[in-house]
Structure 1
């Protein structure tokens, strides 16, 4: 009868142990720099006080109740919603049109792609300073209006015009990124679909409506969600251009959190507002993951 031979396996032969061994450094960094700050933020939203010798103390849901009853918070929510919607729609429509144009063989296509993408890599602070200079009372935009006999407009000092200027800058900043995303989506659509449509006598608009848009469905959803996240975390343009004014008309949620935390030192209340922002962002990410799963 043959003897059984027993060998000692290396601990790396156990797939589970090996996987956890190699994942531990990354998970440690993830826990220290992402999971722990989120957990502490959530805890802080149930406290009051400051980081002094007195410290913080538990107050339960009072910070969230203050959010619900604070008219300034609801004005900021309205500003953020207006800013988000007014930025997403033009940035998607214009960038899709540019992508369709640049997907064709036209002169200087490579240079134009680079030129349109350039704003995406420019610092938001630098872009904000540039737009503030353009739209200041004695700036080039009002100089152009004066050339045509139109009175100067206090763009950044007017409650009606200040937000559209910030929206314009944000659209300009986001166009290049969305254009590249749409270009990648367009190149993933099989050319055979367009060839079949040509044989069936479909014109350019019919091809765009029945082939391009359906083929870009996951790309459009990705662009919508990434642009929404970009607008929800907007801070630099408000900080540099208007400081949330005039009369709180350009105050967005991230800037409001900054004001409450580092202007008023009301860290618990600011943490509650930041938790609301985190919840909205997680919902958007969930929809994006569900879309990818369906596709």
Structure 2
């Protein structure tokens, strides 16, 4: 006798439930993320409303006092201005230069892999080692001033000048990010169908028209990704400031992450540092939200 299809099957494993099985397999990763990612973020937000230190005296609740101190502190606004200047001046060249290099390499056939590896080398170089190298290059009696002296130009105090110290950090960050963005753009260019360029040539479009009407629209998702990742990379910059300038001279190269480090581990003002870190976290989350929203609009 055939059984009724509505009759329950005995011995069915609870893992046959897709939702339960998914949670079981995701649980280890979720626990790790919760411990090492979500909990620190929540604790950082809580810490930003407190004052004190991790000693026997402990910490105590102060409400919005740390955020008020941020708003009224001119040093914070100077650091924030430095960070905006550093980010904008780094992101724009870090997109334009790699895009041009990727466009050239995409048309090249000989030594493409060699140049791609050579340009990517800075991305895998230790930022501390690169910072020490740039510090040596731009010191007063360093190779850069020696090269300028050969043209009769007076030596420049690159790292001791409030005007030139920040451009040195910007140059280092551009050099560091250049290879990664170039490889990303090159992958995006190779994903554009060649038939589009062939049709444009038949229609009489020149190289600039092909770039403007085919390359840039085809690279739109790649450009969004590269812009967001480069902006986040520059916002979290710490090593180059710590190694090359130490935030000087006169606080002119002090960036937000280095400022947080100073307040937390030099001044031991953890609540105030947590408030500044929360501001940085909010900016990073806004950038990620814009990226996700743009991606969703693109997919629609």
Q: Using structure 2 for the length normalisation, give the TM-score.
A: 0.96
**Cα pair distance change 1:191/1:3, threshold 3 Å:** closer
Q: Where does structure 1 lack aligned partners over 5 or more consecutive residues?
A: none
Match of 2:189 in 1: 186
What's the offset of the Cα at 1:106? 4.2
Give the paired residue count: 295
1:28 aligns with 2:31: yes
- CA distance, structure 2, for counterparts of residue 144 and residue 264 of structure 1: 41
What's the offset of the Cα at 1:3? 5.9
- CA distance, structure 2, for counterparts of residue 173 and residue 106 of structure 1: 26
- CA distance, structure 2, for counterparts of residue 3 and residue 86 of structure 1: 73
Match of 2:246 in 1: 243
Match of 1:109 in 2: 112
Coordinate RMSD, CA, aligned: 1.1
1:286 aligns with 2:283: no
Secondary structure of the residue aligned to 2:159 is helix
The more displaced of 99-108 and 139-148 is 99-108
What's the offset of the Cα at 1:111? 1.1
1:40 aligns with 2:43: yes
- CA distance, structure 2, for counterparts of residue 2 and residue 106 of structure 1: 68
1:132 aligns with 2:157: no
- CA distance, structure 1, for counterparts of residue 76 and residue 20 of structure 2: 49
Q: Where does structure 2 lack aligned partners over 5 or more consecutive residues?
A: none
| Greater than 3 Å deviation, 4+ residue runs | 1-6
Secondary structure of the residue aligned to 1:202 is coil
Match of 1:264 in 2: 267
**Cα pair distance change 1:18/1:206, threshold 3 Å:** same
What's the offset of the Cα at 1:2? 6.2
- CA distance, structure 1, for counterparts of residue 110 and residue 147 of structure 2: 31
- CA distance, structure 2, for counterparts of residue 213 and residue 57 of structure 1: 53
Q: Deviations over 1:202-223 (max 9, x none)?
A: 1111100111011111111111
What's the offset of the Cα at 1:257? 0.1
**Cα pair distance change 1:44/1:195, threshold 3 Å:** same
